[in-house]
Amino acid sequence: MLGNTFGRAFRLTTAGEAFGTALVGVVEGVPAGIALSEADLQVDLDRRKPGQSEIATPRVESDRVRILSGTLDGYTTGAPIGLVIDNEWATSERIAAYVNEKDVIKPGHATYTYFAKFGPRRDWIADGRANGRETAMRVAAGGIAKRLLAERGVEIVAYTRALGGIRCPDLPYDAIRTNAESPPIRCPDPEAAKQMLDRALEAKTSGDSIGGIVEAVAHGAPVGWGEPVFDKLDANLARALMSIGSVKGIEVGAGFAVAEMCGSENNDAPVLDRGTVRFETNHAGGILGGISTGEDIILRVAIKPTPTIGLEQRTVDMVAKAPASFRCRTATDPTIVPRMVPIVEAMIALVLIDHAMLAEAQDHRKEP
């Protein structure tokens, strides 16, 4: 299996499955002398971990991260940082719950494509590496990236913009930043959050699930991050976010709304603000020509309904080559959207710090 390394100047490699012994990560490119502890990384892992609320999977994991290498006396050494998160839920009894469904295609999951690509010896327990469990290591590495971005004055805030067809109204950045973590929905508007929670509980009661949208704002990124042509900043962000399981769509700035605009409406008018170029609007989402403009980078991520549901579904037995039925009898979430918030932040952080380091290494911009 290829494709387990992400990034260039700041690089993450991960390994581990849903019911394996542990998740493992190696982060390269972190300079020496950065204060870093396990507690620093635990903050976002606690935001992502299961079992937090009535609309989260009952799987219980402490998600405690351990730093195995790359630090000394609380500071990074410049060497690769080794990370591990033990899987505590992976008992023989829970693994046994998946035995009877290992040959059946689970609708909406990667069961069939993994079987077709890797054969019957693939890890069939909760779909192995295709399970959302692997994102815990992305979040741990994202915590390191966020720490480096904070030194550059960059902050990333994501929140639940829509859930089950209910949308959060437009809010200013300060209001989003202040209220984005409101549990359990992570929607900064109280009224919308209440409606979203009710909708999620309805889905849970019926044995179904709902999807939604996570919006993220990267505040403080300077002008000049991103490489034209194949490594545009928005292209790399889209790749990073689409690599998260259950993500089915990305919007940057005004996104698909630009298809209904005229150029005169879509173009962001530049203005001078004390000698600095700013923009009156931000339909571009903080990126033009694949390069950051200095405005907020705004992204929206469409997340499908949790495919693991409690309703009976028609399917196929891959080994017997016969029609079959499937009903989930294991842990599930009626929605994964609120838990996706720290994952989305982590992937954006990995891209931004990578581009920041590349820009700083080249330093080819000329003052007018």
Domain-embedded: residue 34: yes
The pLDDT value given to residue 332: 80
Helix (H) or strand (E) holding 63: none
pLDDT values of the chain reduced to their tens digit, one per residue, 368 residues: 999 999 999 999 999 999 999 999 999 999 999 999 999 999 999 999 988 888 888 888 999 999 999 999 999 999 999 999 999 988 998 898 888 889 999 999 999 999 999 998 999 998 999 999 999 999 999 999 999 999 999 999 999 999 999 999 999 999 999 999 999 999 999 999 999 999 999 999 999 999 999 999 999 999 999 999 999 999 999 999 999 999 999 999 999 999 999 999 999 999 999 999 999 999 999 999 999 999 999 999 999 999 999 999 999 999 999 999 999 877 688 999 999 999 999 999 999 999 999 999 987 555 55
Whole-structure pTM value: 0.96
Q: Which SS3 state, helix, strand or coil, does residue 66 take?
A: strand
Whether residue 367 is contained in a domain is answered as: no
Would you put residue 39 in left (φ > 0), alpha (ψ -120 to 50) or beta? alpha
- Beta strand 81-86 pairing with 65-69: antiparallel
Domain of 81?
5-362
142 close to 353: Cβ distance less than 8 angstroms: no
- Which residue matches tokens 């469990």? 133
346 lies in some domain = yes
Residue type, 81: I
Cis peptide before 31 (omega within 30 of 0): no
The CATH number for 179's domain is 3.60.150.10
User: Is residue 340 included in any domain, yes or no?
Assistant: yes
Question: HEC profile for 15-44?
Answer: ECCCCCCEEEEEEECCCCCCECCHHHHHHH
| The pLDDT value given to residue 367 | 56
pLDDT the model gives residue 364: 59
- Count of domains forming the chain: 1
On whether residue 198 sits in a domain, the answer given is yes
Tokens 């410049």 — which residue?
Answer: 78
pLDDT at 366: 55
Measured CA to CA, the distance from residue 336 to residue 323 in angstroms comes to 29
Query: Has residue 368 been placed in a domain?
Result: no
**181 belongs to a structural domain:** yes
